[in-house]
Structure 1
Amino acid sequence: MAEKVRNLAQFLKERRVAAGFSQKEVADHLGYDTAQFISNWERGISSPPISVLKKLAEFYRISAEKLFDVVLEEEIRQTTVALQRKFKTSR
C-alpha cells in the first residue's frame, strides 16, 4: 500500500529533518542565498521549482520519483480545491 502524505509542506520538513539538515544547509546546497525559500516550502507558502526536485531528492536521500509524486499530489489537491471554489461561486 502506498504511503499517504498529508501535504507537501509536511513531507518536505519530515524528509529534511530525517536527513539531518537545517533549512540553511539545504538552501546552501541548492544555491539559495537564504533559508527563507526552504521555510516557505515547509510552511506551504510555495513549492520547490521542478528544476530543483532531483537535487533535493538526492540531498534528502529519497527517490526523485517519490518527491515528484508528492508534488503532483499536492498540485492536484490545490487545483481541485480552486476549481471547487470557482464552481460553487458561479451558481
Structure 2
Amino acid sequence: MYFRENLRTLRRIYKTSQDELAKFLGYKSFTTIQKWEDGTSIPPMPIIQKLSNFFQIPMEDMINLNLARDVIDAKAVPVLGTVKTGLGLFAEENITGYEYVASNDSLDEYFYLNIIGDSMKNVRIMEGDCVYIRRQDSVENGEIAVVLLENNEVTLKRVFFKKDQMILQPENDAYKPMVFTKEEIEEKGIKIIGKLIHNKIKY
C-alpha cells in the first residue's frame, strides 16, 4: 500500500496544503491529514474515494500504485475540456485535470478530452471516458479524429475522404454521418485537430 506516500506526492503536485485538504474533507484540523501521511492512521474508504475524486485519480491507483515511481515521473497531460460525440460541444481549452502517460510521449503534442454522448459506442467510447489525442491536422482514411466544426464546436468521429468530401462517420446507427464538401470545409473552417490514440475507460 502506497497511500501515505501518494497523498504527499499528490498534494505537492496540486500545491494543496494539509490544512486546505482538511477543510475540503470537513475536518477541523490538518493533524488528521498529517497522521495519514506519517502512517499512524488511514482514512476510511469513503474518504479515500473523496481524495481520489479531488486529485482526479482512480482510487485503486491512490492505494496500490507507487505514483512517485510509476506515474509522477511520467508526463502529466492536460485534460482540456469535453468533446460531445453526439452533436458536438465547444471545447474550452481550460485545464480541468491531468492524466499521465509514458515519459517518451511529448507533453506538447498530446492532450485529453472528456467524452459526452454515445455516438461512438460501437467502438466502446462512452460518455465519461477520456480520449487521448495527438495533435495533428490530418489522418488516414477511416481513422478516428477530433474535428473542429463551425462555431468552435468539436466532435469525435471516424473520418473518411471521398473525392472532394469529408465524411464524419459515427459508430452508432442512431446517428447519421456528417458530410462536408470542399467548399463547406473552407467556408466553415472545418479541420482535423487531432487523432485518437487511445481511450481511457472510466467506470
TM-score > 0.5, shorter chain as reference: yes
- CA deviation after TM superposition for structure 1 residue 65, in Å: 2.7
* Partner in structure 1 of residue 48 of structure 2: 53
Deviations along 1:18-66, one digit per CA (max 9) or x if unpaired, are 1210001100000001000100001111111112111101112211231
Matched, 1:22 2:13: no
Q: Hey, which of these two has a bigger chunk of strand by percent?
A: 2
Between Structure 1 and Structure 2, which shows a larger proportion of helix residues? 1
Q: Say yes or no: does 1:44 pair with 2:39.
A: yes
**Which has the higher mean CA deviation after the structures are superposed, 43-52 or 27-36?**
43-52
Superposition RMSD on alpha carbons, in Å?
1.8
- State the distance in 2 between where 1:7 and 1:55 align: 17
Aligned length: 65
Distance 1:34 1:7 in 2: 23
TM-score by length of 2: 0.30
Amino acid in the other structure paired with 2:9: E
Shift of 1:68: 4.1
What's the % identity of the aligned pairs?
32
Answer with 1 or 2: which has the greater Rg: 2
Indicate the structure whose relative CO is greater, using CA pairs within 8 Å and at least 6 residues apart: 1
